[in-house]
Amino acid sequence: MMIDREAETKASVVAGSFLFRELNPELLERVIRLTRTHRVRRGSFVFQMGDEGDALYGVAQGMIRIWIPGADGRELTVALMERGDIFGEIALLDGLSRTANATAIDDTVLIAIDRSHFVELLESEPRIARHIIELLCERLRATTDRFSEDAFLSLKARLAKRLEALMIGYGQSCPEGMRIGLKLSQTDLANMLGVTREAVNKQLGAWAQRGLIQHTRGTVIICDPQRLKQEASPEA
């Protein structure tokens, strides 16, 4: 029964993945056979910056934070990976070392495809290669957008945009407004923007006084989404 559940988990992640979902059943079954399950405890590394790129990962359960360290010791969160998301593709393709760290936010179950198997798939199935290119383009665009925000937007606008994105991705309706369904400390939010916790604390406090948000014990509630959206404007 355990084996059946594991096989079901693999099949669900592979079939729902952006990379593989257009494959015919025979090819999907081939990909599933090449995967292995990898369990990561909360707070543990999947890989670290500088490690060999030996596998591609997909999230079956839990959440992974992709981050890089700053020269001042702070951490910059690059992305959050949740169920169905694929990560670790860059080092897998160019054969160089990992460019970021990946740690588990919760106890997490991953599926993994070893590099040698994945390269074989790319060479034999053009659709997978096309989807990898599309995935890389999507992430390059996101990186470019982030650089633009960092260069031209105020901290207030950047934080508002990040909360708005989190609300869209993880928002849950509640009597006070929209609760972001992730535990987010002020340090977590600061790491997403590459700023200090104190700067985030000051801005959250200002918004709380105006009734835009509530933030207690790691829970963020957007009380007025429309006004928060206005705060994300460069002119705000």
> Distance between CA atoms of 173 and 10, rounded to whole angstroms?
31
Half-sphere exposure of 1 (CA within 13 A, CB side): 0
Whole-prediction pTM = 0.79
Rounded alpha-carbon distances, angstroms, from residue 162 to 78, 132, 155, 159: 12, 26, 10, 5
Q: Are residues 118 and 192 in the same domain?
A: no
Last residue of a domain, one of 92, 119, 151: 151
41 domain residue, yes or no: yes
Q: Are residues 120 and 102 in the same domain?
A: yes
Q: Are residues 59 and 97 in the same domain?
A: yes
Question: Domain containing 181: what range?
Answer: 153-231
Q: Are residues 98 and 158 in the same domain?
A: no
Q: Are residues 21 and 111 in the same domain?
A: yes
138-161 burial string, b = 16+ CB within 10 Å, else e?
Answer: eeeeeeeebeebeeebeebbbbbb
Dihedral sign from CA coordinates of 34, 39, 42, 46: negative
To which H or E segment does residue 105 belong?
none
Note the pLDDT tens digit of each residue in 16-63.
888 887 788 888 898 999 999 999 999 999 999 999 999 999 999 999
> Distance between CA atoms of 192 and 88, rounded to whole angstroms?
19
The residues, any chain, with a CB within 8 Å of residue 145's CB and separated by 6 or more, are: none
Last residue of a domain, one of 86, 121, 151: 151
Last residue of a domain, one of 132, 151, 170: 151
Q: Are residues 147 and 160 in the same domain?
A: no
Confidence of residue 127 (pLDDT cuts 50, 70, 90): confident
236 domain residue, yes or no: no
Note the pLDDT tens digit of each residue in 144-199.
888 777 778 899 999 999 999 999 989 999 999 999 998 889 999 999 998 999 99
Q: How many domains does the chain have?
A: 2
Q: Are residues 92 and 173 in the same domain?
A: no
Q: Are residues 167 and 80 in the same domain?
A: no
Q: Are residues 82 and 168 in the same domain?
A: no
- The CATH number covering residue 46 comes to 2.60.120.10
